C-alpha cells in the first residue's frame, strides 16, 4: 500500500462475463473501480443540480454554487464562441461538470477516474469528434479552410498547411495528456509525502539522532496539507481548461469565416 502507483490500479468490483462483439473481439463487461467512480460522479452531478435548481427568491448555498458554475461556463462559451455559444453550452457544461466531479471525488476516494488515460482520451476524442461533426455540418467541404490561414503568401502554404493539420490532429492528444498528467502527478506527490510522515515518524521512534526524523515528519505533514489545497485548485482549473479549450476548438469551426 506504500506504493504511490497502487492507487491507480484498476480492480474489478463486480465480475461480469465477457461478450464477443463483432469488430471489437472479446469485451469484459465487469464493473471496475473506475466505472464506479465515474458513475458516482455522474450521480452526484444529477443530485447536486436537482437540489440547486430550486429557483428560490433568496438562493441558498447550493443554488448559489450552481448558479455560479452555470454563469462561469455560460460566460466562457459566450466570450469565446460568440452569440452561438448558447447552442454548445449544454455540451461544454456537461464536460466541465463531469470532469470537475471526477477530479473532486478523487480527492476524497482512493481512486481518481481522471488519472486513467483511457478516460481522459475518451473525453478528448468525444470533443474532437464533436468539433469535426459540427465543422462539416456547418461548412461542408469548406471546413478545410481551417488548415489554410488567411493572408499567408501562397509559397508559405506548403509549410503552413501541414503544420495546421498536425496541430489539429494533436489536439485530442494534448487534451487527454494534460488532464491525465496533472491528476496523476499531483496524487503521486501527495502519496509520497504522506509516506514520509509515517516513515520518518517511525525512524524517530528509534531515539538518538534519529529523533530528528520527527521534524521531517512534521514538515512532510505541512507539505501534504499545502499540496492538498493546491490539488483542489488544480482539480478545478483542469476542468475549466478542458472546457475552455473545447470552446476554442468549437469556435474555430463555428466562426470559420473569421479564421
pLDDT in tens, 116-141: 999 999 999 999 999 999 999 988 88
Domain coordinates of the chain in residue numbers?
31-258
Q: How far apart are CA 179 and CA 95, in angstroms?
A: 12
CB 74 within 8 A of CB 207: no
Mean pLDDT across 99-122? 90
73-100 per-position pLDDT tens digit: 999 999 999 888 899 999 999 999 999 9
- The confidence band for 2, taking pLDDT boundaries of 50, 70 and 90, is low
Mean pLDDT across 48-61? 80
In this structure, what C-alpha cell is assigned to residue 79?
Answer: 466570450
141-153 per-position pLDDT tens digit: 888 888 887 777 8
| The pLDDT of residue 258 | 65
Short-list 204, 245, 249, 205, CA closest to 96: 245
Judged against a pLDDT cut of 90, whether residue 40 lies above it is answered with: yes
Express as a percent the part of the chain with pLDDT over 90. 44
Return the higher-pLDDT residue of 241 and 211: 241
| The pLDDT of residue 207 | 65
Express as a percent the part of the chain with pLDDT over 70. 96
Q: CA gyration radius for the chain?
A: 23
| The pLDDT of residue 259 | 55
191-232 per-position pLDDT tens digit: 888 888 888 877 777 766 667 778 888 888 898 899 999 999
The residue assigned the cell 509516506 is 195
| The pLDDT of residue 54 | 74
Q: How far apart are CA 232 and CA 238, in angstroms?
A: 10
Q: How far apart are CA 225 and CA 197, in angstroms?
A: 12
Judged against a pLDDT cut of 50, whether residue 1 lies above it is answered with: no
Amino acid at each position: 500500500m506504500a506504493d504511490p502507483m497502487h492507487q491507480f490500479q484498476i480492480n474489478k468490483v463486480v465480475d461480469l462475463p465477457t461478450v464477443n462483439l463483432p469488430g471489437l473481439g472479446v469485451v469484459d463487461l465487469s464493473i471496475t473501480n473506475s466505472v464506479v467512480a465515474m458513475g458516482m460522479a455522474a450521480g452526484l452531478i444529477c443530485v447536486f443540480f436537482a437540489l440547486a435548481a430550486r429557483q428560490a427568491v433568496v438562493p441558498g448555498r447550493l443554488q448559489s454554487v450552481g448558479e455560479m458554475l452555470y454563469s462561469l461556463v455560460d460566460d466562457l462559451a459566450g466570450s469565446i464562441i460568440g452569440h452561438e455559444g448558447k447552442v454548445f453550452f449544454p455540451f461544454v457544461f456537461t464536460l466541465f461538470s463531469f470532469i470537475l466531479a471526477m477530479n473532486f471525488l478523487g480527492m476524497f476516494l482512493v481512486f481518481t477516474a481522471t488519472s486513467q488515460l483511457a478516460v481522459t482520451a475518451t473525453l478528448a476524442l468525444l470533443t474532437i469528434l464533436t468539433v469535426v461533426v459540427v465543422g462539416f455540418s456547418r461548412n461542408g467541404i469548406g471546413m478545410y479552410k481551417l488548415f489554410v490561414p488567411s493572408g499567408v503568401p501562397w509559397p508559405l502554404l506548403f509549410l503552413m498547411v501541414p503544420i495546421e493539420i498536425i496541430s489539429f490532429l494533436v489536439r485530442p492528444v494534448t487534451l487527454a495528456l494534460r488532464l491525465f498528467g496533472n491528476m496523476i502527478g499531483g496524487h503521486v506527490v501527495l502519496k509520497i509525502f504522506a509516506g514520509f510522515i509515517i516513515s520518518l515518524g517511525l525512524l524517530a521512534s528509534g531515539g538518538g539522532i534519529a529523533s530528528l526524523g520527527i521534524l521531517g515528519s512534521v514538515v512532510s505533514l505541512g507539505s501534504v496539507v499545502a499540496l492538498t489545497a493546491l490539488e483542489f485548485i488544480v482539480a478545478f482549473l483542469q476542468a475549466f481548461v478542458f472546457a475552455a479549450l473545447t470552446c476554442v476548438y468549437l469556435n474555430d469551426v463555428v466562426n470559420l469565416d473569421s479564421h
